[in-house]
Chains A and B, each alone.
Chain A
Amino acid sequence: MPAQAQPHFSADKVLDCKGLACPMPIVRTKKAMEQIAPGEVIEVQATDKGSLADMKGWANNTGHYYLGSLQEGNVLRHFLRKASPQETKAETRYPHTITNKELQARLQSAEPFLLIDVREPAEYAFQRIAAAKSIPLGVLEQHLDELPTDRDIFVICRSGNRSDLACQLLAGKGFSRVKNVVPGMAGWTGPAENE
């Protein structure tokens, strides 16, 4: 069942498919996806109940990332993130990493650290580690003064690629205790929460 909450995030594009029967919501979503940049998030508003299962199926089939859906009255709000070609390539260049499992162990230890989630707000809203602080990759540079230098910083995203870029950026700015979490939320089996 879709969550019933007012989201604290917005999509890069909102597509209104209210009142349309299948196949139109998917046909329109496909067209709209062509108009947004890889990594951007689209919100599709639909009243056709079948769109819930079909949107997931279509995203799976095309490689786009289905984030989740919210229900408000009769309206289903589906959130999808457009896949980017480099995400599928495992081109990790930042050498210092920590596995999901090691991170899970650290979450249970007393040693302090900061976990940064660099995914988009919509992704963060649907599934996240409770301790993670949300700073999307695109705005990370503006938040450097909030980051500590006296403890470890772990950076997580969906598949380890955006977090790799974030680690490189932080290392370049003088942060020395930075590690990339691999593979990231896509393989996360530990405790998670949503909005």
Chain B
Amino acid sequence: MSNLQHQQAKVKKMTAHELTELLFAQEELFILDVRNSEDYENWHIEGHRVKSFNVPYFELIDGVEEIVGKLPGKQKILVVCAKEGSSVFVAEQLAEAGLDNVYYLQGGMKEWSEHLEPVKVGDLRDGGEIYQFVRIGKGCLSYMIVSGQEAAVVDSVRLTDVYEAFAKERSLTITHTIDTHLHADHISGGRKLAKSTGATYWLPEKDAEEVTFAYEKLEEGKVIQVGTTSISILPIYSPGHTIGSTSLLVDDTYFLTGDILFVASIGRPDLAGKAEDWVGDLHDTLYNRYQDLSKELLVLPAHFGSHAELGPDGVVSARLGDLYRDNPGLNIASEAEFRRVVTGQLPPQPNAYQEIRQVNMGRLQPDEEEQREMETGPNRCAVHDK
């Protein structure tokens, strides 16, 4: 045991926050992922300058000699596993083999999938601010709109402590929590957060037909006020990903598109089993409703599909006009072609998406561990995601 403790001094711990900063800064990193190959193929850490390499830990039980030669000598090496134990086990052997820049990821992919990093998107006219909370491991984006001493949280994930701590630090009261639609890829924290802060919870009525709880109807034109100033959130009905999907226009500048429009892709219409019905709505939203809006709006989606969509400082955003030029989902010639493309190339569904919808309707009450398991893997809410 003393030998083990001695070795532990040589391997360094990297937290999910530190890894996020490193990825945002686009630093070079070599990742040795020691989970089994199936888990790795399904979902692993990516970045602009990340090289990643998968060797299951159970192939390294007799030693790491065979792979040491394949690893960079001086560069940072981060060993990653599901929960942490195996990465420490392998990292220690690498350190013993003479590599001196070896880290393990604290809490493994489990903690990585739950890490939320707040980044500031910009200022609002009356002195308020808007923040994006990047759940980098899973590709979920949520938002906090701050004005005066009040805040609204949009598309909150279930890790609500992060929003509460963020608000507390700034002496803010969370007065509204809003879901742009009934989520299928992650468990919403909207209701939980509203309950613990006394905020009002908003959800589009058409997505809430089967819910078991009371909520405020998120309706087009019904303004939601934050703070004492005139910062307002204007809902715009934009069906397609779900029948109730509603976008939010904040301060006439920021356009929260939920799971309808992403930076590099568009939403998928099939997660409630109604692809054929909803693909027409999706087309209408993207090619008519959104077209009528100012091209200067800054699109802030509820997801990103790849690290390539992370901008400087980690913010995921794009000018609406730029998306009409560059996003393949907004450049399909006819509605017939759109239907073919969108329903014909759908990626696999997110893990446990049907159960997750039931949870978000209040019809299933899984415990913490079960919730975590349901959310395993990437979000897969976009049409072009692999």
Give residues in A with beta carbon < 8 Å to B.
21-24, 26-27, 30, 50, 53-54, 57-58, 61
Q: Which of B83-101 contact A (CB under 8 A)?
A: 83, 85-86, 89
Given known contacts A22-B86, A24-B85, A53 and B39 CB-to-CB distance under 8 angstroms = yes
Q: How large is the interface on B (under 10, 10 to 19, 20 to 34, 35 or more residues)?
A: 10 to 19
Question: Is B58's CB under 8 angstroms from A57's CB?
Answer: yes
Question: How far does the alpha carbon of A61 sit from the alpha carbon of B38 in the complex, in Å?
Answer: 14
B82 interface hit (Cβ, 8 Å):
yes
Question: Is B89's CB under 8 angstroms from A23's CB?
Answer: yes
Question: Is B85's CB under 8 angstroms from A26's CB?
Answer: no
Find the A residue at minimum CB distance from B60.
Answer: A23
Question: Is B61's CB under 8 angstroms from A23's CB?
Answer: yes
B235 interface hit (Cβ, 8 Å):
no
Given known contacts A30-B61, A54-B56, A61-B59, A22 and B39 CB-to-CB distance under 8 angstroms = no
Given known contacts A53-B36, A54-B36, A21 and B58 CB-to-CB distance under 8 angstroms = no
Please indicate the chain B residues that have their CB under 8 angstroms from the CB of A57 in the complex: 36-37, 56, 58
Tell which of B37, B39, B58, B83 touches A26, judged by Cβ atoms closer than 8 Å: B58
Main secondary structure of the interface of A (DSSP, over half): helix
B57 interface hit (Cβ, 8 Å):
yes
Question: Is B83's CB under 8 angstroms from A23's CB?
Answer: no
Please indicate the chain A residues that have their CB under 8 angstroms from the CB of B39 in the complex: 53
B130 interface hit (Cβ, 8 Å):
no
Question: Is A21's CB under 8 angstroms from B57's CB?
Answer: no
> Across chains A and B, which 7 residue pairs bring their CB atoms closest together, nearest first?
A58-B58, A23-B86, A21-B85, A57-B36, A26-B58, A23-B89, A22-B86
Question: How far does the alpha carbon of A21 sit from the alpha carbon of B107 in the complex, in Å?
Answer: 12
Please indicate the chain B residues that have their CB under 8 angstroms from the CB of A21 in the complex: 83, 85
Question: How far does the alpha carbon of A172 sit from the alpha carbon of B82 in the complex, in Å?
Answer: 54
Question: Is B37's CB under 8 angstroms from A22's CB?
Answer: no
Question: How far does the alpha carbon of A23 sit from the alpha carbon of B62 in the complex, in Å?
Answer: 12
Given known contacts A53-B38, A54-B56, A57-B37, A22 and B82 CB-to-CB distance under 8 angstroms = yes
Question: Is B85's CB under 8 angstroms from A23's CB?
Answer: yes
Please indicate the chain A residues that have their CB under 8 angstroms from the CB of B36 in the complex: 53-54, 57
Question: How far does the alpha carbon of A27 sit from the alpha carbon of B61 in the complex, in Å?
Answer: 7
Question: Is B58's CB under 8 angstroms from A61's CB?
Answer: yes
- B33 CB to nearest A CB, Å: 14
Please indicate the chain A residues that have their CB under 8 angstroms from the CB of B57 in the complex: 22-23, 26, 54
Tell which of A22, A30, A61 touches B85, judged by Cβ atoms closer than 8 Å: A22
B81 interface hit (Cβ, 8 Å):
yes
Please indicate the chain B residues that have their CB under 8 angstroms from the CB of A27 in the complex: 61, 89
Find the A residue at minimum CB distance from B85.
Answer: A21
- A81 CB to nearest B CB, Å: 17
Question: Is A50's CB under 8 angstroms from B82's CB?
Answer: yes
- B29 CB to nearest A CB, Å: 23
- A21 CB to nearest B CB, Å: 5
A-B contact pairs, 21 of them (CB 8 A): A21-B83, A21-B85, A22-B57, A22-B81, A22-B82, A22-B85, A22-B86, A23-B57, A23-B86, A26-B58, A27-B61, A53-B36, A53-B38, A54-B57, A54-B58, A57-B36, A57-B58, A58-B56, A58-B58, A58-B61, A61-B58
- B342 CB to nearest A CB, Å: 33
Q: Which of A21, A24, A27, A50 has the most CB of B within 10 A?
A: A50
